[in-house]
Chain A
Amino acid sequence: MGRRPSGAAAITIANEMTFQWDWGFAFQALPSLLRGLVFTLEATFFGSLLAFTLGLVWAVVRLAEVPVASQVIRLWVEFLRGTPLLIQLYFLFFIFPSYGVTLPALETGILGLGIYFSAYASEVYRAGIEGVPRGQWEAALALGLPLRRMWGRIVLPQAMRFAVPVFGNYVIGMFKESAILSTISVLELIGQANIVSAETARYVEPLTMAALIFLVISYPAARLVRLLEARLSAG
């Protein structure tokens, strides 16, 4: 992580030269940044997988209203949503070595992202499932469908209609949040940008390019999700 230039140095720089954006350097930094992007995408992908799987587990336990477990899960979800991801990551990162487990930084990051977002995913699952009208359940029962079919063929498909666009937005959110992995020394996009900055003492280009890369990926992705949402709600 780069060090902040001291106040005096910053003012001197500002006074002595008008800042010149160096395109050459910006493009030189690009390969490193793109290497970091790979880790960002990896973290997003596996984190999402974990989040959407765990989220369903939490949601089902809560919906089933199991006497103790449901309350515990409710508190657990509130806890995950009510505390900073950063601290959760630190906790995971530093707690494992204490018990002799060495989990690499990226895997820890994926675990952290996945667990954190699973709390949000569980709320979306719950809303989606609760959104399926009672009448659907009753019709399925009247038709004599077994429970598994009820869930698999009737309820979950309708719940997912609602959930998928929201999940799309969560994936994009996770993509952006993955920058936080740089704090536990994962060399993803921002981490790489900071390394380049520290090595070359040029801060502007790497960080700006990184921010641009984020924008270039997340903006079209957001439009796509909105399109998906329109498609799903119309059908």
Chain B
Amino acid sequence: MSFLFLDEPAAPALSDYLPLLLQGVPVTLEATFVSMVLVVASGFAFGLGRSSKTRFLRLPAGFAVEVLRGSSAIAQLFWAFYVLPYFGVELAPFVAGVAVLGLNGGAYFSEVVRAAFASVPKGQTEAAIALNLSAWFRLRRIILPQALPLMVPPFGNALIDMLKFTALLSLVTIQELAYRADAIRSVLAEAGPVYGIALLLYFAMSLSFAAIVQQLERLANRWAGRPDSRTRGQRARTSAVPRWAFPGR
């Protein structure tokens, strides 16, 4: 029946646009990693600030964290993008986006940092004091190495969260995966499949991240002198829920 439509160009097919879609993946990854650097940096800054004994550090850090966590990331993104220019702050889209995601994520991560440091046994600090080690040495070589492994699993979660948050950057003109999926969708007749493929790409990325983080966790535990909590191949059914708790089993 195609002769009836000789004048019309052939309908665009999804496969034509696939390469374009895939080009969004590096952008997404870049945004994720750069944001995570900021998350860790600001997370430590806020976390250490909030653990500090001096009010001069503790209160501003606490305030910043509450404000950043109090409103949604989207609102903050729009605010940084549309409102800041009026105050003379003109940032490139990528920079603004990554900065917002990084600070927002850092506010959440600061709680992880704070809790990890608080989990290091007090005896370690006391031993360091008794040995007359300087406070800086104590923080850097005694406390931090022991706090680090505790931060790895939440870091993994934060990493995957950040991957998802980068999709929001599409709303402020950054051409990562979600943006491209949007653009392609507006050209095609069938919208669903594009997003379906995008979802699968994101899923693939987050599964990879999860596997990498698991390895990191193992490494960190070994470095801190903790025995491996999960010996390979051992999946003991130590669940509290008994087999007979479900009818028919």
Contact = CB atoms under 8 A, between A and B. Distances in A.
B196 interface: yes
Interface stretch (A2-10, A45-53, A102-110): A2-10
B199 interface: yes
Nearest to A177: B72
B75 A5 contact: no
B182 A130 contact: no
Nearest to A60: B246
A130 B83 contact: no
B22 to A, nearest CB: 15
Contacts of A142: none
A207 B172 CA distance: 15
Interface residues of A, number: 64
Contact of A219 (B66, B88, B170, B203): B66
A215 B207 contact: no
A141 B243 CA distance: 12
Nearest to A223: B66
A180 B169 CA distance: 12
Nearest to B249: A64
A54 to B, nearest CB: 18
Contact of A147 (B165, B170, B206, B247): B247
Given A10-B85, A79-B203, A95-B192, A90 B181 contact: yes
Given A84-B202, A94-B192, A203 B82 contact: yes
A82 B156 CA distance: 12
Interface stretch (A24-32, A131-139, A227-235): A131-139
B178 interface: yes
Given A180-B74, A190-B75, A211-B75, A88 B82 contact: no
B75 A214 contact: yes
B70 A218 contact: yes
B28 to A, nearest CB: 10
Interface string B184-199: 0100001110011011
Interface of A: 1-2, 4-5, 7, 10-11, 13-14, 19, 60, 63-65, 78-79, 81-88, 90-91, 94-95, 98, 129-134, 137-138, 141, 147, 150-151, 155, 176-180, 182-183, 190, 193-194, 197, 203-204, 207-208, 210-211, 214-215, 218-219, 222
